[in-house]
Amino acid sequence: MAAGTGALAPFPGPPSTSLHEFPYPPQSRARVARGSPAGGVPPAIDLVLGATAGCLACVLTNPLEVVKTRLQLQGELQPPGTYPRPYRGVLRAVGAVCRADGLRGLQKGLAAGLLYQGLMNGVRFYCYSHAEDAGWTGYPGGTVAAGAVAGAVGAFVGSPAYLVKTHLQAQTLAAVAVGHQHNHESISGAFKSIYKQHGVAGLWRGVTGAVPRVAVGSAAQLATFTSAKDWVCERQWFREGSWAAVLAGGMVSGVAVAVTMTPFDVVSTRLYNQPVDADGTGKLYRGFLDCILQISSKEGLLGLYKGIGAVYLRLGPHTVLSLFFWDELRKMVQHQQPPGP
User: What is the structure's pLDDT at 184?
Assistant: 96
* Coil vs helix vs strand at 6: strand
- Helix, strand, coil: what percent of the chain each, to 5? 70, 0, 30
DSSP states of 114-161: HHHHHHHHHHHHHHHHHHHHTTGGGSTTHHHHHHHHHHHHHHHHHHHH
CA pair distance 325, 341, nearest whole angstrom: 29
**What single letter denotes the amino acid at residue 300?**
G
Check pLDDT > 50 for residue 327: yes
φ/ψ of residue 191, rounded to 5? -60, -45
Query: Where is mean pLDDT largest: 2-11, 116-125, 304-313?
Result: 304-313
DSSP state of 17: S
Beta pairing partners, 6: 3
Lowest mean pLDDT among 101-110, 116-125, 156-165, 282-291: 116-125
pLDDT per position as a tens digit, 194-253: 999 999 999 999 999 999 998 888 788 777 877 777 788 888 888 777 778 777 877 787
User: What is the structure's pLDDT at 47?
Assistant: 75
Number of H helices, E strands in the chain: 9, 0
pLDDT per position as a tens digit, 30-81: 344 444 444 556 777 877 887 788 788 889 899 999 999 999 999 999 999 9
Check pLDDT > 70 for residue 16: no
Place 338 in a pLDDT band, splitting at 50, 70 and 90: low
Lowest mean pLDDT among 8-17, 38-47, 130-139, 270-279: 8-17
* Coil vs helix vs strand at 98: helix
Cα atoms found within 13 Å of the Cα of residue 297, Cβ hemisphere only: 6
Contact status, residue 266 vs residue 275, Cβ threshold 8 Å: no
User: What is the structure's pLDDT at 305?
Assistant: 97
> Can you say whether residue 33 is alpha, beta or left, with left for phi > 0 and alpha for psi between -120 and 50 degrees?
beta
CA pair distance 99, 213, nearest whole angstrom: 31
Check pLDDT > 60 for residue 8: no
Q: Tell me which residue of 236, 224, 201 sits closest to 8, measured CA to CA.
A: 224
Domains of the chain: 43-336 (1.50.40.10)
Answer yes or no: pTM beyond 0.85.
no
**Per-residue pLDDT averaged across 154-159, rounded?**
95
Percent of the chain with pLDDT over 70: 86
**What single letter denotes the amino acid at residue 272?**
Y
User: What is the structure's pLDDT at 24?
Assistant: 32
Higher-pLDDT residue of 175, 242: 175
Q: Residues with Cβ < 8 Å from 102, sequence gap 6 or more?
A: none
CA pair distance 32, 36, nearest whole angstrom: 7
Contact status, residue 65 vs residue 314, Cβ threshold 8 Å: yes
Higher-pLDDT residue of 244, 173: 173
Q: Hey, what's the torsion of the CAs at 106, 107, 108, 114, to 10 degrees?
A: 150
Q: Exposed, middle or buried, 20 (CB in 10 Å: 0-12/13-18/19+)? A: middle
Lowest mean pLDDT among 14-23, 209-218, 254-263, 315-324: 14-23
Q: Kindly report the average pLDDT of the chain as a whole number.
A: 83
User: What is the structure's pLDDT at 339?
Assistant: 60
User: What is the structure's pLDDT at 341?
Assistant: 52
pLDDT per position as a tens digit, 274-308: 999 988 899 999 999 999 999 999 999 999 999 99
